[in-house]
């Protein structure tokens, strides 16, 4: 589904990703862990198509197409979803209106029939119920005045509604209390199915207790330096990232 090969990315003249290679197949959940500044969020932003990220080398193929050539909205329509680390507050823009516009734009792009208001609201109510989110969320402006936890839950709600094929969760666990974390994880787990893949970016092993990954990758200084199964996350929790850095140095020597 997703094939990242030797990806180099510069941000504001500074090289952040330095030859990242990663393959994600449909149905898999990949966790990407690593210390601050390793380039984890850069990866998420590059995949979603944010401006200001200059790809200097390497390629990203998504279901056989060059993902880097697509506009952000085309990537969304093709099934790529980024749950933001810092969801943006947009006062004055109503949540219902925004999500209906987003969903129907995606459907139109894919050549599917647009949903009318009744169909849309029915779908919205179902997803809200599954995620235990109160209905009034839909009458509020996008993320405006939301608490940190509400914003993250709204990201997961949007993901549930838009039903992407590749969901990238950028530190969705940060700032969540244990109940909210469980709710977010339940939302993600309910969406796991053979045609959908997840890339879960996180600092902490805690989230992976609830969203059990198929693969764990450790990212240091713009590269994946270690990959393994879920036990790798536990080792990291025990030894810290310094352990990986030392191993990496030893390997290089």
Partner 1 sequence: MRGLPSASWLARPEMDAVLDKEAWRYSERAWNALHAQEFTAANTPALLPGSLVEQFDWPETRARRVVFVNGEATATAELHLSDGERLHLVFISVPDAQPARWSLDLPITVETGSAEVVEQHIGLDGTEILGELTSHVRVGAGARLRMTTLGDLPDSVSLYRRANVSIDAGGAYSSTHALFGGRLQRFDIDVDMAGEQASYVSRGVFAPRGRQHIDVHLDARHSARDTRSDVLWRGIADQRGRGILHGAITVAAGADGADAQLQTKNLLLSPHAEIDAQPVLEIYADEVKASHGATVGQLDERALFYLRSRGVPLAAARNLLIAGFCREAFADLGDVALSARLEAVLARRLPQAQESAR
Binding site for partner 1 (CB under 8 A): 48-51, 71-73, 75-77, 81-82, 84, 87-88, 90-93, 97-99, 101-103, 105-106, 109, 141-142, 158, 162
Give whichever of 62 and 84 is closer to partner 1, judged by the CB atom: 84
Question: DSSP string of 38-97?
Answer: SSHHHHHHHHHT-TTEEEEEEEEEETTEEGGGS-HHHHHHTTEEEE-SSPPPEEEEEHHH
What minimum distance in Å lies between the beta carbon of 76 and partner 1?
A: 4
Residues in a beta bridge with 123 = none
- Find the shortest distance in angstroms from Cβ 93 to partner 1: 4
For residues 18 and 50, which CB has a smaller minimum distance to partner 1 in the complex? 50
- Judged by beta carbon, residue 16 or residue 236, the one nearer partner 1 is 16
Two tokens at 209? 């207790």
Write the DSSP assignment of 159-202 as a string of letters. Answer: HHHH--SEEEEESTTTT--HHHHHHHHHHHHHH--TT-EEEEEE
Q: In the bound complex, what is the minimum distance in angstroms from residue 72's beta carbon to partner 1? A: 4
Give whichever of 105 and 212 is closer to partner 1, judged by the CB atom: 105
Nearer to partner 1, 141 or 234 (CB): 141
What is the C-alpha to C-alpha distance for residues 123 and 120, in angstroms, rounded to an integer?
5
C-alpha torsion 125→128→133→138, nearest 10:
-60
Nearer to partner 1, 90 or 190 (CB): 90
Least separation, in Å, of the C-beta of 73 and partner 1? 5
CB of 216 to partner 1, least distance (A): 26
- In the complex, what is the shortest distance from the CB of residue 234 to partner 1, in angstroms, rounded to a whole number? 33
Question: How deeply is 77 buried, as exposed, middle or buried, from its count of CB atoms within 10 A (0-12, 13-18, 19+)?
Answer: buried
Angle (CA) 6 238 223, round 5°? 10
């Amino acid at each position: 589904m997703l094939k990242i090969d030797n990806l180099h990315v510069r941000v504001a003249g500074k090289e952040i990703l330095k030859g990242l290679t990663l393959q994600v197949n449909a149905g898999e959940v990949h966790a990407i862990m690593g210390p601050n500044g390793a380039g984890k969020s850069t990866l998420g932003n590059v995949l979603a198509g944010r401006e200001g990220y200059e790809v200097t080398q390497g390629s990203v193929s998504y279901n056989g197409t060059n993902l880097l050539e697509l506009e952000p909205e085309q990537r969304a329509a093709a099934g790529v979803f980024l749950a933001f680390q810092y969801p943006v507050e947009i006062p004055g823009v109503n949540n219902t209106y925004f999500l209906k516009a987003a969903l129907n734009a995606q459907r139109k792009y894919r050549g599917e029939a647009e949903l009318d208001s009744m169909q849309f609201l029915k779908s919205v109510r179902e997803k809200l119920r599954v995620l235990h989110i109160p209905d009034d969320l839909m009458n509020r402006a996008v993320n405006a005045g939301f608490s940190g936890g509400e914003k993250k839950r709204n990201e997961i709600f949007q993901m549930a509604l838009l039903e992407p094929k590749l969901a990238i969760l950028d530190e969705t666990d940060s700032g969540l209390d244990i109940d909210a974390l469980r709710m977010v994880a339940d939302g993600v787990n309910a969406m796991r199915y053979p045609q959908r893949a997840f890339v879960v970016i996180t600092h902490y092993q805690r989230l992976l207790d609830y969203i059990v990954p198929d693969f764990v990758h450790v990212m240091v200084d713009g590269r994946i330096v270690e990959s393994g199964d879920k036990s790798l996350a536990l080792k990291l929790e025990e030894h810290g990232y310094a352990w990986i850095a030392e191993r990496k140095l030893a390997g290089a020597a």
